[in-house]
Amino acid sequence: MTIASSSRTRPITRASDDGGLWRSALGLTTVTLAGFGFLYAAAGVGVGQLLFPDQANGSLVFQGDRKVGSALVAQPFTGAGYFQPRPSAAAYNPLALAASNQARTNPDMRARIEETRAAVARRDGIAPSAAPGDLVTQSGSGIDPHISVEGAAVQVDRVARERGLDRKAVERLVTEHTEGPQLGALGQTRVNVLLLNLGLDALGASAPVAPRKTAS
C-alpha cells in the first residue's frame, strides 16, 4: 500500500534575493548612525552648552581679556609670593596626564617624597613632619588643580611675607576660595590654587600671575 505524502515541496528563497532584508539592514544602519552617531552627540553638546557652558568649554579662567588657564588644570607658579600646587609626574602637561605608577614600597618613591618633604619645609619654614601629604605626593592625573586646606594654610605665612600683606587678609582669602565637597558628600574640602592666586593679585599684589611654561 502506498501512502501519499501530504507535504508539499516549497521553493527555497535565497536571502540575497529578498530585498526586504537589505532594506531592513540598511534602514537600521542609517537610524543607528544618524540617531546615535550624530543626533545623540549633538543633543549632548547642546544640553552641555545650554546648562553648563563654562564646564563644557573647559572651565577657562580669564584675567581681564587674557586667558590664564583652566580651573580644572594645575599649573606651577614662579615667585615665592604664590601658593604652589601639588607636585606633578607629568610636569603639569595636560597632554601627558600620568602618575608615577610607583608602589609605596618603591625606594625611589620614598626617596622622592622625603626630598619633596624637605623642600616644602624649607620653602614654607615648617618642620618636615608638618608638611601636608598632598604637598609631597603626586596626584593620579598629574594636574590636580586643588590642594587641601592644610596645604594652603602652611603657605600663608610665606605668601603674606613676600607680598607685604597682613596674614589675616591672606587667611580670609584662603577661606573665600575654599570649596566644600561636591554635592555636599563627594570628595573633601579643598582650595583651587589658580583661583586663589588670582585672588591674591586682585588684592594689589606686586606681580601678575606668571605661570611657568612647560614643554608640550
Domain layout of the chain by residue ranges: 19-51, 58-202
What pLDDT shows up at residue 6?
A: 52
Mean pLDDT in order along the chain per 10 residues (216 residues): 55 59 83 79 78 73 78 87 91 79 83 94 95 90 91 96 93 94 85 94 59 45
Give the pLDDT score at 192: 95
Cβ neighbours of residue 31 closer than 8 Å, sequence gap 6 or more:
none
Q: Which amino acid is at 131?
A: A
pLDDT at res. 12:
55
pLDDT for the residue numbered 9? 59
What CA–CA distances, in Å, run from 103 to 83, 106, 183?
28, 5, 32
Which distant-in-sequence residues (6+ apart) come within 8 Å of 117 by Cβ?
A: 128, 131, 136
**H helical segments located in 3-144:** 19-32, 40-51, 53-56, 107-124
| Dihedral class, residue 183 (left if φ above 0, else alpha if ψ from -120 to 50, else beta) | left
Cell 622625603 sits on residue: 114
